[in-house]
Chain A
Amino acid sequence: MTGPRFTGSRQVAIVGYAHSMVERHIDRPLGLLAIETVAQAITDAGLTLDQIDGFTTGSLFPSSGGRGVVDGEHMVTSDWLVEQLGVHPRWICGFQGIGQVVGAVSLAASAIATGAADYVVLHRALYNPPGRYHENPMTTAEGEAQWRAPQGYWGPISEIALPYMEYMQRYGVTREDMATVVVESRRAGSAIPWSVWHDKPLTVDEYLGARMISDPISMLDCDMPVSGVAAFVFTTADRAADLPHRPVYLAGFAQGRARPRNGIGFWDLDSIIDSGAQLADNLWRNSGLTLADVDLPQLYDGFSPFIYFWMEALGYCPKGEASRFVADGGLRPGTGKPFLSSGGAIGNGRMHGIPQMLECYLQLSRRAGERQLDGMEVGLMTQATPNFGGAALYTASKP
């Protein structure tokens, strides 16, 4: 193993967090829940608001049910938060791309490592509007929509259905195979007190009987749209030593390709896996770690096929063999890894990368309570798709 390419590897630490309940709909503005959650995270870190001099988030994909997007209502930017809190931090920056949480982590780490800020709050706020999440009443199709909407092709569910159909057809994978993954996510999620699926595990038959939305994606292959907020506090490894909780160190991160200009909304299966493998390669070189070092791989699952795609992109198994890897015990203790111990988005609700990051923090800081796993030293989180998402590695100890 060679040393990390990142000079800042393990120089930045997470020192506290807070997470709201995840609910289908909330009865007060999202912004107020964000203010409350951020305050809890700062207290959890043993700090006060006046010590926080940096704020970041990734607020892409605000959902407003077809109405105009209002900051504080359908999304919460760091700018909104800072303005409402009446504070004047040295550094505010929002990540605009996909892989929002990893992107915001990369910004927070850069601010801490360069001294642009000493204590950074990273938050993520998700909102589920009343009505249908993706419905769009457009009557004219302009810009990129001109290549999709007149074909009846609209929204992320069909965008994922296309490469997943290619995957199933090419490798002979069935919904029975995928049932193992989704049932495990919901089993883990049912043990999470703040999850929208708390105490609501799923059976294989329920999964197989789920309503199909865009073949081969059923309702239960999608995460449930929810409202919720999470916040984390970052600082330097040196400052972290004086704070109440065991720090978790950021070893490295990598982001996928720029989301290609792609008016047709199609990414072919090979390009998804191959460019994800490049992302993984960058991740190992940036962090100085290898796949074999990872105890806690937390894979993004906004749609269930992403679990297969990430397993193959990261190199847990060759292309086309993820379902076999799972069938051979890949998800079980002893024979496999705790890929889905957080429950992920399928087991928690659509918190866009937060379940994976939170699980890395809780397990590596030894704060997972009854769910604590033994021997967790290196955690991996991924977000979005392997071709244009992101991944980050965390460690329980400094080098």
Chain B
Amino acid sequence: MTAAGVSKPVPVADEVSEEFWKAAASHVLAIQRCDECGWFSYPPSLTCRGCRLPGRSFHYEPVSGRGRVKTWTVVREAFLPSWKDEIPYLVAVVELDEQEGLYLTAQIVGARPGDMAIGAPVEVVFEDLAEGISVPHFRLAGKRMGR
């Protein structure tokens, strides 16, 4: 989890993201959803990108945590010093099953670069980063986390 005693960056919730991180702490992936038109937004948005109407209200809704790899990269140089011990590691754009174009950029754990392919199914896993703080990552579906 750390490199040379440097902690990985801990997410700091704000007014809009608070419920996302609260759900993540319980290992639930919850995505902001428009009360009116049902559009999911990630990261959470102040206006609905689905209906584009002002004054919409939102709630956070647990999702399946399943999706597909849109694209990926193998990070071989850690621009965040706290990630030095992890290189090389995988970061992918995951398109969640719930909505076309609902993308997350996330670390892919337990996989090697050669395992990656566009369209590969993935599922969410959580890393406990600190007391009460967990971060959603993904793994290739059907594979056990080998870390």
Contacts and interface: CB of A to CB of B under 8 A. Distances in A.
A255 B109 CA distance: 39
Given A151-B135, A158-B75, A213-B77, A139 B118 contact: no
A200 B120 CA distance: 42
Interface stretch (A54-62, A163-171, A319-327, A385-393): A163-171
A264 B73 contact: no
A170 B89 contact: no
A147 B76 contact: no
Interface string B77-90: 11111110010010
A366 B7 CA distance: 56
Nearest to B117: A169
Contact of B11 (A136, A141, A166): A141
A151 B43 CA distance: 14
Given A139-B10, A166-B70, A265 B105 contact: yes
Interface residues on B, range: 35 or more
Contacts of A215: 73-74, 76, 113
Contact of B71 (A153, A166, A265): A166
Interface in B48-85: 70-83
A146 B76 contact: no
B29 to A, nearest CB: 13
B142 to A, nearest CB: 21
Contacts, number: 132
B9 to A, nearest CB: 4
A141 to B, nearest CB: 4
Contacts of A269: 71
B93 interface: yes
Given A137-B81, A166-B71, A150 B10 contact: yes
Contacts of B13: 146
Contact of B79 (A139, A151, A154, A165): A154
Contact of A151 (B6, B70, B71, B106): B106
Contacts of B93: 162, 264, 266, 268
B137 interface: yes
Contacts of B11: 140-141, 146, 149-150
Contacts of A137: 6, 80-81
A216 B76 CA distance: 10
B89 A214 contact: no
A143 B77 CA distance: 24
Given A158-B91, A170-B118, A214 B77 contact: yes
Nearest to A137: B81
Contacts of A161: 73
A377 B74 CA distance: 44
Interface in A280-312: none
Contacts of B12: 140-142, 146
A146 B42 CA distance: 12
B9 A138 contact: yes
A326 B11 CA distance: 44
A169 B79 contact: no
B71 A214 contact: no
A257 interface: no
B8 interface: yes
Interface of A: 132, 134-155, 157-158, 161-163, 165-166, 169-170, 211-217, 261, 263-266, 268-269
Given A142-B14, A147-B43, 4 more contacts: A158-B73, A158-B91, A211-B76, A214-B75
User: When A and B form their complex, which 7 residue pairs have the shortest distance between CB atoms, in order from nearest?
Assistant: A263-B43, A161-B73, A166-B71, A215-B74, A149-B9, A141-B9, A146-B11
